[in-house]
């Protein structure tokens, strides 16, 4: 039995692939995503647009609204740090009984009011989609069709068919994004990504490593 607590940073440095070409903040986000899922291979699939970190820091520092797709995603946000940044948060599918990706998908398709609510919340907000791939698909469609632009989309929905396709579509849009190729994702990972971006702004307010 081990006689001391595990040094997670030491373990990560030994196991993670070479991330030397990524900025300090990006490495921090990826490291925490790996810790959250316990799968080092995830690091190779994380994708951020070149302006994602800059957009996140500027928007969070301005006191933006963060929109999560389901209640459990919003519940996993670091409300203390976000309140410190004067940010607000809301839920798209604000039904506390939604506790799975399947339930989120059904709720979104059964009530057309959710689509209208989504359209009304797109502009200038940070979106965190961690459960329903159809929410991310519809979000991408609305961005393509309308003159609207979210500040950042963290698109990590669960799923094996719709989710990978939705993530590919997101990466084709000219907006700031963070996602993962393939089926990897989930509400916890989506919330962790946003939480680390908020933490970086508080812990390293003068850091400009992402502009290099």
Q: Strand 88-91 relative to strand 65-68: parallel, antiparallel, unpaired?
A: parallel
| CA atoms of 199 and 159, how far apart (whole Å) | 28
| CA atoms of 137 and 20, how far apart (whole Å) | 33
DSSP letter (8 states) at residue 151: S
How confident is residue 160, by pLDDT bands cut at 50, 70 and 90? Answer: confident
Query: Six-digit token pair at 140?
Result: 């991408």
Task: Check if the beta carbon of residue 136 is closer than 8 Å to that of residue 170.
Answer: yes
Query: Six-digit token pair at 69?
Result: 């797709």
166: helix, strand or coil: helix
| CA atoms of 118 and 146, how far apart (whole Å) | 12
Q: Strand 46-48 relative to strand 177-180: parallel, antiparallel, unpaired?
A: antiparallel
22: helix, strand or coil: coil
What pLDDT is recorded for position 8? Answer: 63
What pLDDT is recorded for position 14? Answer: 66
Residues 175-197, mean pLDDT to the nearest whole number? 96
| CA atoms of 23 and 146, how far apart (whole Å) | 33
Residues 135-139, mean pLDDT to the nearest whole number? 96
Strand 65-68's sheet: what is its strand order? 46-48, 177-180, 152-155, 126-129, 65-68, 88-91
Task: Check if the beta carbon of residue 132 is closer than 8 Å to that of residue 106.
Answer: no
Q: What is the pLDDT of residues 64-103, one digit of tens each?
A: 999 999 999 999 999 999 999 999 999 999 998 998 899 9
DSSP E strand stretches across 69-193? 88-91, 126-129, 152-155, 177-180
What pLDDT is recorded for position 12? Answer: 65
Rg, the chain, Cα only: 17
Domain edges within the chain: 8-211
Residues 112-129, mean pLDDT to the nearest whole number? 94
Q: Which residues pair with 47 in a beta bridge?
A: 179
Model pTM score: 0.92
Q: Strand 152-155 relative to strand 126-129: parallel, antiparallel, unpaired?
A: parallel
134 pLDDT above the threshold of 60: yes
| CA atoms of 72 and 153, how far apart (whole Å) | 17
CATH of 8-211, one of 3.40.50.10230, 3.40.640.10, 3.40.50.261, 3.30.70.20: 3.40.50.10230
């Amino acid at each position: 039995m081990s006689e001391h607590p595990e040094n997670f940073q030491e373990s990560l440095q030994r196991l993670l692939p070479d991330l030397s070409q990524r900025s300090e903040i990006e490495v921090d986000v990826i490291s925490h995503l790996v810790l959250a899922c316990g799968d080092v291979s995830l690091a190779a699939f994380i994708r951020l647009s070149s302006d994602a970190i800059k957009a996140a820091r500027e928007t969070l520092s301005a006191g933006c609204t963060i929109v999560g797709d389901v209640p459990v995603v919003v519940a996993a946000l670091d409300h203390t740090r976000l309140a410190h940044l004067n940010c607000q948060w809301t839920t798209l599918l604000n039904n506390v009984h939604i506790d799975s990706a399947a339930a989120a998908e059904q709720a979104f398709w059964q009530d057309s009011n959710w689509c209208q609510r989504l359209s009304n919340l797109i502009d200038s907000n940070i979106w965190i989609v961690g459960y329903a791939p159809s929410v991310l698909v519809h979000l991408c469609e609305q961005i393509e069709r309308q003159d609207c632009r979210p500040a950042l989309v963290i698109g990590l929905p669960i799923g094996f068919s719709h989710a990978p396709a939705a993530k590919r579509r997101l990466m084709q849009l000219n907006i700031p994004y963070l996602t993962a190729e393939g089926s990897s994702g989930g509400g916890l990972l989506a919330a962790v990504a946003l939480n680390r971006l908020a933490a970086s702004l508080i812990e390293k307010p003068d850091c400009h490593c992402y502009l290099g």
